[in-house]
Amino acid sequence: MPFVSKLVRTNLISLAAKAVLGKPLPEIPPGEWQKIPIHGIKVPQFSFMQLDGADIVLGVEMQSTGEAACFGNSFYDALSKALTSVGYNLPKSGAALITIGGAENKEKLLPTIALLKKLGFKLMATEHTAEFLEEKLGDVEIVHKISEPDRKPNIADLLHERKIDFIVNIPSTSTLEKYVGMLYDEYQIRRKSLELGIPVLTTPELSESFCKTLEWLQTNDTTKNPLEPYAN
């Protein structure tokens, strides 16, 4: 709420306190919030590298150790700055590894993966994901799991050789008992990528926003303005 208060230049905490106490609120003209000329975004910063063996998949607990707050002239202008500030690489070309658990997640992510293909990124995917994407989009390279070191090309080798620029890894929501091997392999992908500084996107929402930011960066540059104009 403090960050939003700064962005909209209104003390929302004071307004909330008055509302809770039943005190009268000031008149705010209709559409006042739409008049804000800038976009503000906060992205969490995590310290998984300092936690030996930690998985980057998030749950309901608060796990961030900081955050970056950025302003921009558009949503993707602000988001590209914020993602860069917390360590995400935003490539304009390269290869993306796609590994998605569950048929529902695959269908949900299809427009996002189609956007990557349109932007010219090489698509790599594990076997079942590749079969789905080839049927829908065509031209997807099959890569093999870390737990299958004798099968090539293997994800571990591609990561260490820096042949993967970022990963869309949507974990399987199936039962642990049935898919324990699959879940462990997904964890290995995320952990090795973290150690190598390769971005991993673990939710459909982040994947979509990340890929649309890459699309925006194809034809735009981020703004570089001093802080003072935003504060006035």
**Minimum mean pLDDT range among 35-44, 55-64, 88-97, 154-163:** 55-64
Q: 95-219: what CATH class?
A: alpha beta
What is d(CA 208, CA 108) in angstroms, rounded to the nearest whole number? Answer: 10
Burial-class residue 201 by CB neighbours within 10 Å (0-12, 13-18, 19+): buried
On whether the 2-85 domain is CATH 3.30.470.20, my answer is yes
The amino acid that residue 187 corresponds to is Y
Domain positions in the chain are 2-85, 95-219
Q: Across residues 99-124, what is the average pLDDT?
A: 93
What is d(CA 180, CA 182) in angstroms, rounded to the nearest whole number? Answer: 6
Residue 96 bridge partners (DSSP):
123, 166
Is 14 strand, coil or helix? helix
**pLDDT per position as a tens digit, 134-183:** 999 988 999 988 888 888 899 989 999 999 999 998 876 554 444 444 56
Q: Which two three-digit tokens encode residue 123? A: 């698509």
